[in-house]
Each structure stands twice: as C-alpha cells, then as structure tokens.
Structure 1
Amino acid sequence: MLHAVIMAGGSGTRFWPASRKLLPKQLLALSGDRTMIQSTADRLGDLVPASRQMIITNQILTDAISDQLPEIPAINIVGEPCKRDTAPCVGLAAAMIAKNDPDGIMVVMPSDHVINDHQSFRDAISAGEKLVQEDPTRIVTFGIKPTYPAESFGYVQSSDPIDAAGVSAFKVTQFREKPDRQTAENYVAAGNYYWNSGIFLWRASTILDALAKHEPDMHAHLIAIADAMNTDAFDETLEREFSAINGKSIDYAVMEHYDNVVVIEAPFPWDDVGSWQALSRLHDADEHGNTVVGSHIGIDTKGTIVHTSNDHTIVTIDLEDLIVVHTPDATLVAPKHAEERVREAVAALQAKGMDEKL
C-alpha cells in the first residue's frame, strides 16, 4: 500500500517573529486559509487515506498538529525527542511502516512547501509509485526545473530518460550540494540539473536496507524503536534510542551513495517558502510592488513586504524594499536583502535569555 510521511520538525526561524517554537512555520497560514501542514495533507486527496498518513515532528508539537489535523490518528503523529536531521526522521517512519506493511511504499514530503496544483502532484506521485512497483530497489525523487541559478537549493543531476507514464523521468547521476553562484549558473546552463525538492518515494524496506548498509548504527536504533511499537515501552524506547542517533541528512546518509535513483521532473508549480520574501511569490502585489497580508496603509512605499493582523494597522512612509512583520509581542523591520539575518535575531534573543519571544 502507499503511505505518506510528512516531515514537520522544522523550527522555521527565518519566519520569526510569526514563527515560534510552539507555532513554527508549518503551523502557520502563509499562503491561504489553511496552514502549511494542513495544505500538505490536503494535496494528498484520496491518494492516501488519513489512516496511512504519518507525521514525524518535534515532541512539543504533537498536540498542536493533532488539533490541526484531527483526521489523522494520534498514534500516527510521532514526536521526536530531539532534533536529528532527516535521515533518522524518514528512517523512523520507514521502520514503523514496514513493521505493519512489509511491502509498503512511502512518499516523503516536507510540511512547508506550497504546491497548488493538487491533481498534478497526485499524478506525479502515482507515476513514481509505478516506477517503484516495477523495481522495488528503485528510489524516486522529484526535481524542480530551475528558473534561476539558486544558491540556496541542492541540485540533482540527471542523465538517461526512463519510461514513465505521463511524466518525464531520468536516471540520477548524482546529488549536488548547495552551489556558489557561478556553479549554479553552470547547472542551469547545462539543462540537466534540477532543484532537489526533498520529496522522495521508495519502498520502506528499500530505504531501511540502504540505512543498514550505510548507517548501521542508526538503523539498529530505529529498528529497536519500531520493535517497541504498540507496547508500554514505546515512549521510553523512542526517547532512549532516538537520542542516541548521530543525526545526518538523508542526502548524506543514503542518496549520495545509492545507485538506483530516478528523478521525475515535477509537473506541478512548487515553492519551498524558505523566508519572508516568499510572500511576494504567494500573494499578489499592489501597484507599487508591495506585498501585504493584514491591514496596511502605505505612503510612498514601494517593494515592501508587510505581514500583520487585520486589527493592527501598519503605516509606512517613504520606505522601499523592507520587510515589516508585526505580532502581538514582537515586530521585525529589516531590508529585504538582509532576510537571512533573521536567524541572527533569534540567536540574539536566545543569548539574552528572552525565551518568551521565541
């Protein structure tokens, strides 16, 4: 059967002050009425029922996620006791799925992407599922055709085409880490590189076998957790075994070593919503190039992003290319070009012991 795993453990620090420890980016509504994690589950439609959807998140977020997605069984919302990157995250889900469905196929998705064409997404997932059914040792990833030489994404290098129903698919030559500007320009010019979307599809047993080969210690801890499923010892075992894992991304742990990988060129529009400037892509701008969410009056204001509530009006005068974000207890004002430095603000608050602002 097809299972869906939503990775929802991120802290979303680049979206401070709206994103907080107990209400991170994936639990915010940044592109519509539904939150990002709700939208991620929504786009699955009837492809994967709620009973076969699993969410791996931070231990402190399980209740909030359960409130937002009450249709997903609480037992399927698993809280990591500590942050250990994506390989333990997807490995834990695979171990738990394989325990109940040894032949199960799983699609793995981050919880903070915007994909508005749900049908194209489901069609691509179905095509990937068929590729894995044809060859159970195959791993499928979904690549985004680059529209500019991005330095903030990893890349997937493709080669020979693969037969796939309704989609363009290629054998993967290798995964590339985030490049410098010149290298990114070379990738785009070459024409056979894709942005790495972080969306994967594989048989649960296949990714477990790969982890057993390349990360045997991690694999042993994950199997110990899965073996404790449906017992009174599960919470204690999860805490002990998961905390003992040496964290690593799934790209480093498996993808860079695995030979049988296929990339499907994503037929759907995609945005990873990495920082506040993403709002400019998700919402229509006014005649002055301002992107506004909430109540705002702009006087000689251009190219500015404003995020506030409808009951708190922000007035800007003679401003250009700024980010202004209001919350009840904190306000951010920064040049758009300095948006990556929002993380520094979070670090400064931590250093000052101002945890109530985090």
Structure 2
Amino acid sequence: MLHAIIMAGGSGTRFWPKSRRHRPKQLLTLTGERSLIQQTFDRIGPLASADCVRIVTGADQVAAIAAQLPEIPSGNLIAEPAPRDTAACVALAAMCVAHDDPEGVMVVMPADHVIRPESAFVRTIEAALKVIDKEPEALVTFGIRPTRPETGYGYIEHAEELDRHGEVPVYRVAQFREKPNRETAEQFLATGRFSWNSGIFVWKASTILAELARHRPSLFEAMQPIRDALGTPRYDEVLKAVFPTLEKVPIDKAVMERSAHVRMLEVLFDWNDVGDWRALADLEPGEEKGNVVQGAVKIADCADSIIVNEDGKLIAALGLEGVVVVVSGGVTLVAKKDKLDSLKALVESLGTSGHGDVL
C-alpha cells in the first residue's frame, strides 16, 4: 500500500511578513485558492486516501494544519517536539508506516512546492512504484531537468539509464552535489548529466529503515525507544524525551549520498520550490512589464516588481523596478529583488531587536 508523507516542519521566513510563526509558508495561499499544503494533499489524492497520508510537522503547527486538512485523521499528524532535519523526520515517519504496514511504500514530499500539471506528477509516482516493484531495495528520488544555472538548489548527477517506464527514464545516480556557485552551476548544465534535487522520494518503509541502520547507525539506534513505544501509552512521553536529542542531519547526507541503491527519475512535471517572493513571478501571470500585483494596488511605470497588499488600504507605486513590496498583518516589507537572499537574516534579527511580536 502507498503511504504519503508530507514534510511540513519549515518556518518559511523567506515569505515574511505574510509568513509568521503561527502561519508558516506551507499554510499560505500564494497562488490559486488552496494553501501550499492543501495543494500537496490534493496532488497525492489520486494515489493515496486520506487515511494513508501522514504529515510530519512542529507541535505548534498541528492545530492549524488540522484546520486546513480536516480529512486527515488526527493520529496521522505526527508532531515533532523539536526540529531535527529530514533524516529524523523520515525515520520517524517510516517507523510509523512500518508499524502499521510492514510492506508499505512511502512517497515523501515537502509541503510547500508547486507542481504542474498534477496528472504528470501522478504518472511519475506510478513510474517510481514500478521501479520499487522491480527493485524492492531501491531508493527513488526525483530529478528536475534544470532550465538555468541555479545556485539555490542541490544537484544530482546521473550515470547510465537503467530502465524506462513510459516517458520516464530511470538512472543510476553518480553523486549528489551541494548548492554550487554560478560558474559550477553553468558547468553542471553544460554536461547534460545534472538535475535539480527536488527532495521528493519513493521507497519501502522497511528499505529506508534498513539503509538508515547501515549508513547512520547512531541515529537509527537512538530512535529505537520511539519505535518500541509505538502503539503504547508511553509513545508521546518517549517521543518528547528522545526526539530533541537526535542528531540533526539531512536524509541526503545520512543515506542518499552513501547508498548504492539510489535511482533517479527525471520528472515530467513543472516544479517550483517556492523559495521566496521572487517565485510569484513564475507562478502568477504578470503583466507585460513583468509585474505581479495582489490586493489593492495601483502601479504606474513599474517593471519587474512584486507588490502584495493584504491590509486593504491602497498601495500606489510609481517608477519601481526590481522591487518587492509586501504589506501583511500591519507590517510592510520593501526590498530589492536581488537582496531577498538576505531576508531570512533580517527576520531573525527582529527577534533580538525588540520586534519579536511581528515574527
């Protein structure tokens, strides 16, 4: 049976001030009428019922997610007592799946990506399931064919093509690479062998647990008290005691970079990780000068700018170029688009300068 795991633990500071501690990025409606996490839930719907969807998130976000997704059983909302990165997140979810369904297959995906069209996503998952049927020990990851020398993503270099399921090629993975500088990213594109790392995975729960035991035994062993407590009255107490002590490491570094069983599918769909406000220009139809506006906004002689107004009072903008203006919850952000990489640091500094109430 297929079990969907939605990773929803991020804070989304890069979408401040619309995103806040009580309303992280995955809960925002940035495009369309559904929030990012609702879109992720909808996307997996043709393949997994709500009973087979688990969401791993921070304890302080459980109530808000439950309100947005009432279809999901409350027991399927897995509350992390503390953020410990994706290896611990994946291991906890895999232990829960294996406890209920020892032969269960997992699709693991972030809560805050935009994927279009959804039918292509479904076909790609179906291709991944065929890989698992043929190679039960496989760890399948999705690679995105790059369209530009992006320095904000990790990359996957593929080796030879091993198989093909319909339109979807299956490759052996040569290596994972961290976020490169511009020159290295251009070299990656020139080879034709590199894909963006989407952070979407398909594998059997038993397989990823075995690979964790092999490649990160310290983390696997540290989590055994949690596994032993599953289904008992002690579970919540043990989880709260053990989970915050776990090693903080990404699943790529813990397992994917080390395993000999990684397979990459080059995907059929358009993908956007919605990294910061600049993503709206890709997701929303802009006018001829590349502007994106939302809410009560009037612009004149502006270009390549994003203006979002959630607070009702009119914003009139004249002569802006390459600028982001966001008004939300009584707070205003004004930034050059090419400076948005520094927004996270700015937001973090607010907490130490007497402005913690706007975080």
The TM-score normalised by the length of structure 1 is 0.98
1:17-63 CA-to-partner distances (Å, cap 9, x unmatched) read 00111100000001111000000010112201110100000110001
Pairwise CA distance, 1:319: 1.4
Do structure 1's residue 272 and structure 2's residue 267 form an aligned pair?
A: no
Aligned amino acid, residue 133 of structure 1: D
Aligned amino acid, residue 334 of structure 1: A
| SS at 2:115 equivalent | coil
Pairwise CA distance, 1:214: 1.8
- The 2-side partners of 1:343 and 1:43 are apart by 29
- The 1-side partners of 2:206 and 2:72 are apart by 23
Pairwise CA distance, 1:310: 7.3
Alignment of 1:1-358 (within 5 A): 1-166=1-166, 167-309=168-310, 311-358=312-359
Query: How many residues are matched?
Result: 358
- The 2-side partners of 1:239 and 1:261 are apart by 32
- The 1-side partners of 2:147 and 2:262 are apart by 23
- The 1-side partners of 2:289 and 2:315 are apart by 16
Pairwise CA distance, 1:345: 1.7
Aligned amino acid, residue 127 of structure 1: A
C-alpha contact 1:141 1:198 (8 A) present in aligned 2:
yes
C-alpha contact 1:95 1:223 (8 A) present in aligned 2:
no
C-alpha contact 2:17 2:329 (8 A) present in aligned 1:
no
- The 1-side partners of 2:100 and 2:345 are apart by 44
| SS at 1:20 equivalent | coil
1:122-147 CA-to-partner distances (Å, cap 9, x unmatched) read 11101101111211111100000000
Question: Which stretches of structure 1, 4 residues or more, deviate above 6 A after TM superposition?
Answer: none
- The 2-side partners of 1:298 and 1:315 are apart by 6
C-alpha contact 1:212 1:219 (8 A) present in aligned 2:
yes
CA root-mean-square deviation: 1.1
Pairwise CA distance, 1:235: 1.2
- The 1-side partners of 2:114 and 2:126 are apart by 19
- The 2-side partners of 1:64 and 1:302 are apart by 36
- The 1-side partners of 2:193 and 2:350 are apart by 43
| SS at 1:351 equivalent | coil
1:223-275 CA-to-partner distances (Å, cap 9, x unmatched) read 32132223221111111111110110001100110111111111011001001
The TM-score normalised by the length of structure 2 is 0.97
| SS at 1:195 equivalent | strand
- The 2-side partners of 1:246 and 1:58 are apart by 17
C-alpha contact 1:217 1:245 (8 A) present in aligned 2:
no
Aligned amino acid, residue 142 of structure 1: F
- The 1-side partners of 2:179 and 2:311 are apart by 38
Aligned amino acid, residue 48 of structure 1: A
- The 1-side partners of 2:27 and 2:195 are apart by 28
Deviates more, 1:62-71 or 1:311-320: 311-320
Aligned amino acid, residue 216 of structure 1: P
